[in-house]
């Protein structure tokens, strides 16, 4: 019996690529280029499974191509707003993602951003590397303390709870959160967390606001001018969720007007493009979507895709099936 034909849209962890090559008739992407609409459509016509990543826009145009052979999209990443799920379903495709395995890694990065922007770490390193540092002095580059402050979370899923655990247990932070689908009480044990009735309530109380909600039409520009107006002038925004949750133009305006104190961002509304205003600000920490970027996590994510695709072709329901 021939192996299922699999096309991988980007380079993956080398150990995962080796497993894919062993288990399937696999076509890799040797030069790691970003596939065009036409290339993605061609992949859907030629493969039994297409394995995209969160940087591939598998939209209605891509999925509307004729003569689709593929039966499954095994996406590498927990987010899925890059895939039009309704169009995928209409095309007869199963779609899977990779939850759970990147929880701790992404939570670590959220705290990295929070600490960096509060303590002016990025600004400080640039200051030193540029040869501008003249020595210690009492008023030099004073930042904001983190310990004992209030952390507001928008969304309270796995990653948010991991952030809350680090913040509460490591920095004695008070946790407030809003989630339209809140977790069970036992999942909040030990987090010193208070549920709020609205995002507005979170904004008003928090010294740091960290975003952990999914992207897509339901949360598009959830954080905009109204949200920034409700935040404390000394508050910081942290985003390791999805870029389109934040109205980036409104964020730039709020920072320029001093409505909030700063931001730590790992994702962007039109990435890889970043607003010029953000690039010019010293009170903003910018990272290139590194939330899951460790050797261990990227390998685990890839292997989760392998598991899902293998289950599908064995006639089983993949455990991470979205549609």
Name the catalytic one among 242, 248, 269, 298: 242
Question: 3-state DSSP call for residue 245?
Answer: helix
219-251: string of b/e by CB count within 10 Å (b at 16+)?
A: bebbbbeebbebbbeebbbbbbbbbbbbbbebb
The answer to whether 82 is a known catalytic residue is no
Q: Kindly provide the residue ranges of all beta strands, DSSP E only, lying in the chain, ordered along the sequence.
A: 5-8, 25-27, 49-51, 72-74, 94-96, 150-154, 174-178, 193-195, 208-211, 236-239, 262-265, 284-286
DSSP 185: G
Query: What sign for the dihedral angle of Cα 79, 82, 85, 91?
Result: negative
Of residues 295, 299, 290, the one with CA closest to residue 106: 290
Residues 316, 104, 110, 174: is their CA dihedral positive or negative?
Answer: positive
pLDDT value, residue 305: 98
Selected catalytic residue, list 17, 271, 307, 310: 271
Sequential pLDDT tens for the chain (323 residues): 799 999 999 999 999 999 999 999 999 999 999 999 999 999 999 999 999 999 999 999 999 999 999 999 999 999 999 999 999 999 999 999 999 999 999 999 999 999 999 999 999 999 999 999 999 999 999 999 999 999 999 999 999 999 999 999 999 999 999 999 999 999 999 898 999 999 999 999 999 999 999 988 899 999 999 999 999 999 999 999 999 999 999 999 999 999 999 999 999 999 999 999 999 999 999 999 999 999 999 999 999 999 999 999 999 999 999 99
Q: What is the pLDDT of residue 172?
A: 97
pLDDT score of 205:
98
Number of H helices, E strands in the chain: 12, 12
Tokens, residue 218 = 């339901």
Residue 128, Cβ density class (10 Å: 0-12 exposed, 13-18 middle, ≥19 buried)? exposed
The question of whether 242 is a catalytic residue gets the answer: yes
How much is the pLDDT for 192? 83
Domains of the chain: 5-101+295-313 (3.40.50.720), 103-286 (3.40.50.720)
Q: Which residues pair with 254 in a beta bridge?
A: none
pLDDT for position 1 = 72
316 counts as catalytic: no
Catalytic residue among 120, 161, 212, 289: 289
Which pLDDT score, from 0 to 100, does residue 91 have? 97
């Amino acid at each position: 019996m021939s192996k299922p034909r699999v096309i991988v849209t980007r380079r993956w962890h080398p150990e995962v690529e080796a497993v894919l090559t062993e288990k399937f008739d696999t076509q890799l992407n040797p030069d790691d280029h970003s596939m065009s609409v036409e290339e993605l459509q061609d992949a859907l016509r030629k493969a039994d499974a297409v394995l995209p990543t969160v940087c591939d826009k598998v939209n209605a145009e891509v999925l509307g191509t004729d003569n689709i052979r593929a039966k499954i999209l095994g996406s590498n990443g927990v987010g899925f707003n890059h895939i039009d799920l309704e169009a995928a379903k209409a095309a007869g495709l199963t779609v899977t993602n990779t939850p759970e395995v990147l929880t701790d890694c992404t939570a670590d990065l959220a705290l990295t951003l929070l600490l960096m922007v509060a303590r002016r770490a990025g600004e400080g390193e640039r200051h030193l590397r540029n040869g501008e540092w003249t020595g210690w002095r009492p008023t030099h580059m004073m930042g904001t303390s983190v310990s004992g402050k209030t952390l507001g979370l928008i969304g309270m899923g796995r990653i948010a709870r991991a952030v809350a655990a680090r913040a509460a247990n490591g920095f004695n932070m008070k946790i407030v959160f809003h989630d339209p689908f809140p977790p069970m009480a036992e999942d909040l044990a030990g987090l010193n967390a208070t549920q709020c009735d609205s995002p507005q309530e979170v904004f008003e109380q928090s010294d740091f606001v960290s975003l952990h909600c999914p992207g897509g039409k339901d949360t598009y520009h959830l954080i905009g001018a109204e949200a920034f107006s409700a935040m404390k002038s000394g508050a910081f925004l942290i985003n390791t969720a999805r870029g389109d949750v934040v109205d980036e133009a409104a964020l730039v305006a709020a920072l320029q007007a001093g409505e909030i104190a700063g931001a730590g961002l790992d994702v962007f509304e039109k990435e890889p493009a970043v607003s010029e205003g953000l690039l010019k600000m010293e009170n903003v920490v910018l990272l290139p979507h590194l939330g899951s970027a460790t050797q261990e996590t990227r390998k685990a994510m890839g292997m989760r895709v392998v598991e899902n695709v293998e289950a599908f072709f064995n006639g089983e329901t993949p455990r991470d099936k979205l549609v």
